Amino acid sequence: MKDFRFAIFGAGFWARVQLAAWREVGGAECVAIYNRSRERAEAFARDLGIPAVYDDPAKLLREVQPDFVDNITEVGGHKPLSLLCARHRIPCICQKPMAASVADARAMVAAFARARTPFFVHENWRWQSPMRALIDTLRSGEIGTPFRARFTMISGFDVWANQPALRELKQFILTDLGVHLLDTARACFGEAHAVCCQTHRTLRPGVKGENVATLLLAMGPARTSVVIEMAYAKTPVERECFPQTLAFVEGPLGSIEVTSGFGLRVTTNKGTRHWSARPPRFAWADPRYDLSQASMVPCIRDLLGALRGEGPAETTGADNLKTMELTYAAYASAAKSAVVRLKHRR
């Protein structure tokens, strides 16, 4: 099968790892890079062996005509650069969070639909090995339809060291981490009917946005009560699990626990079975981010399969629009101290 020729937009922390993940998967070769700082793009291209460097994205698209673009810029670049791809009818994978507002996300999805061009979001949390094991166990029906679930991601890890731009976001933890947890919750329990959210800003002025959030959602046909707790508050915690999400799910036939150290524990009236969903270790991954960076591999595989026409991807732009609606509904709830209902949902 012919390898795809693709271009990356962006030359930051995640672009470097994502390129390594593409190489791990194979079947697609990065032939060009765009970054608004040419100097940064050149250094990146030199280090990673990318033949062509551009500081003008439209010129890149015209001259290189890549089979697709992987847009790994910061959120400010997501809308303009994705829309540029749509105008050139070049399929695009956009980094999460897709957009800085629901209106922007809708405009992006609509532009690709009009151009009849594939559009995806690189959303890898649902591909983390323990989260996938949770999704698969729920879909097997072993514990029945869950009535309640809890996702917890409370970490003292210094996420700003590698990603200083996160300090400047006026909307921080829900757009950075919340999108991941909400997307995974959608994969586990179905679409949200209502959300109630409270946030805190405990690290001002160094970190501008909210860095603590607690959500209660009603999700899916059974209106499963889903509680999501997240914090990057530099709180000393005895067991640091970054970047793992811990979970506890209750159903009529049993419960599932995702424990620190990638453990899965499923308890039914037959007893408890447990196993480890440890992710593979890739030499190119930063050991502190192993779980999350390893999950880029199955995420990319899924997107590549869709680009090849082998089947639909899980994280299309249209699907991720529901994650965006939910994320910004959570902000609206926090702003109003009120429950926000989501319309037109399954």
- Residues binding ligand 89Y (CB under 6 A): 159, 163, 176-177, 243, 292
Residue closer to ligand 89Y by CB (options 176, 325) is: 176
Residue closer to ligand 89Y by CB (options 73, 137) is: 73
Q: What is the dihedral of CA 132, 135, 139, 145, to 10 degrees?
A: 160
Residue closer to ligand 89Y by CB (options 85, 177) is: 177
Q: Is 59 helix (H, G, I), strand (E, B) or coil?
A: helix
String of DSSP letters for 125-189: GGGSHHHHHHHHHHHHTTT-S-SEEEEEEEE---TTTT-GGGGG-SS-HIIIIIHHHHHHHHHHH
**Count of beta carbons in the 10 Å neighbourhood of residue 52:** 16
In the complex, the smallest distance separating the C-beta of residue 291 from ligand 89Y, rounded to whole angstroms, is: 10
Residue closer to ligand 89Y by CB (options 153, 334) is: 153
In the complex, the smallest distance separating the C-beta of residue 39 from ligand 89Y, rounded to whole angstroms, is: 24
In the complex, the smallest distance separating the C-beta of residue 232 from ligand 89Y, rounded to whole angstroms, is: 7
Q: Nearest-CB residue to ligand 89Y?
A: 159
Structure tokens at 13: 């922390």
Alpha carbons 334 and 212: distance in angstroms, whole number: 11
C-alpha neighbours within 13 Å on the C-beta side of residue 339: 8
- Cβ neighbours of residue 247 closer than 8 Å, sequence gap 6 or more: 131, 134, 149, 150, 151, 152, 256, 257, 258
In the complex, the smallest distance separating the C-beta of residue 48 from ligand 89Y, rounded to whole angstroms, is: 20
Residue closer to ligand 89Y by CB (options 65, 260) is: 260
Residue closer to ligand 89Y by CB (options 224, 295) is: 295
In the complex, the smallest distance separating the C-beta of residue 280 from ligand 89Y, rounded to whole angstroms, is: 18
- Cβ neighbours of residue 165 closer than 8 Å, sequence gap 6 or more: 74
Peptide bond into 57 cis (omega under 30): no
In the complex, the smallest distance separating the C-beta of residue 159 from ligand 89Y, rounded to whole angstroms, is: 4
